[in-house]
Amino acid sequence: MGKIRDRMDEDLRLRNYSPSTRRNYLMCCAHFAKHHWRSPEEMGEPEIRSYLIHLLEVKKTSLADYKLHLAALKFLYTHTLRRPEEVAAIPWPKVPRPLPRVMNHQDLSTLFSAIDDFKHRAIIMTAYAAGLRIMEACNLTVPDIDSQRMLIHVRHGKGGRERYVMLPERLLDVLRGYWKQARPPGPYLFPGQKPQTGISPAAVRKALAKAEKKADLKEPVTPHMLRHSFATHLLEDGADIRVIQVLLGHSSIRTTALYTKVSREHIGRTASPFEQFQVTTP
C-alpha cells in the first residue's frame, strides 16, 4: 500500500488509536489490497463487498475478525481516502449475544490453587478481584496500587478511559506477598521478559490454560471469563448495577445489564408485582 499505508497510520495516530488497533487495521487493509492485487485508491464498493463476502463464505472468518476487517476498511475509505460513500451502504453484521460464561467460587479457588508461578497467580487473582480486562491487568504499574484509599487506578482502559476500582484487603495481602518475593525492578507491577515492559496477555493466557488443565475443570477458562464471574458475583451479592457498570468501565448500562440474565440468584430474589395483589384462594 506504500504511501496510503503511511497516511492511514498517521490518521490512526492523530486519532489516538492504540498501537495494537493501528497494527490490526493496517494488516487488514494490506490483506484487502493483496486479495485484489490493486491499490485501494483504484477500488471502491464492489471490490470491498466481494472481499467481505470472500471472508465470510470462502475463508469462514469468525465474526470478530470479520468486524475487524470491516472497521479497518471503513476507516481507510472514510478518513484516509476521504471517500465515505464507498462504505456507507455496507452494514455492520448482526451479532448474536451469547450469555457470558461464569465460574463458581469453588472452581475459582481450585483454579487459583493450581497456578504454580507466584507472578501468574498474583495477576490472575488481580484480574478477577478487580474485574479487569487482561490488558488492563498487564499494564498496571506500582503507583496504580493505592493502599491508603484501597483503590486500583486503571489508567489504560478500553477507549483510553481511566477509572478506579476497589482494592480488596485479601488482594492487597497477595500483592504484598508477591512484591516481597519478586521485587519487580521496573515501573510495571507485573513485568515481562524485559523489565521496562509489562507481561504480555499471551503469557497470562498460557498460564491460565496450564492451570485450568491442572485443576481438571469442566470447560476452558479465559481471562474475560474471570471478569464475567466478578460482575456476576457482585450482582448476586446485591451490588447496584450502575456501580458494577462503573467498575467494569462500560460506556453503556445495556452492556452491564447482560449479567442480570446470568445471575439466577439475582433473578430469584426479584419480587414479582403479583406479590402486591390480595388474592383469595379457593
Annotated catalytic residue 227: yes
Catalytic site residue from 224, 242, 261, 264: 224
Distant-in-sequence, close-in-space partners of 111: CB < 8 Å, separation ≥ 6: 103, 124, 211, 212, 215, 217, 221
Annotated catalytic residue 214: no
How far is it, in rounded angstroms, from Cα 245 to Cα 222? 21
How far is it, in rounded angstroms, from Cα 153 to Cα 167? 9
Catalytic site residue from 227, 228, 233, 266: 227
Annotated catalytic residue 259: yes
Catalytic site residue from 158, 163, 205, 210: 158
Catalytic site residue from 133, 228, 233, 266: 133
How far is it, in rounded angstroms, from Cα 74 to Cα 216? 44
- Structure-block grid coordinates of residue 124: 490472575
For the sheet containing 151-154, what is the strand order?
A: 145-146, 151-154, 163-166
Residues with catalytic function: 133, 158, 224, 227, 250, 259
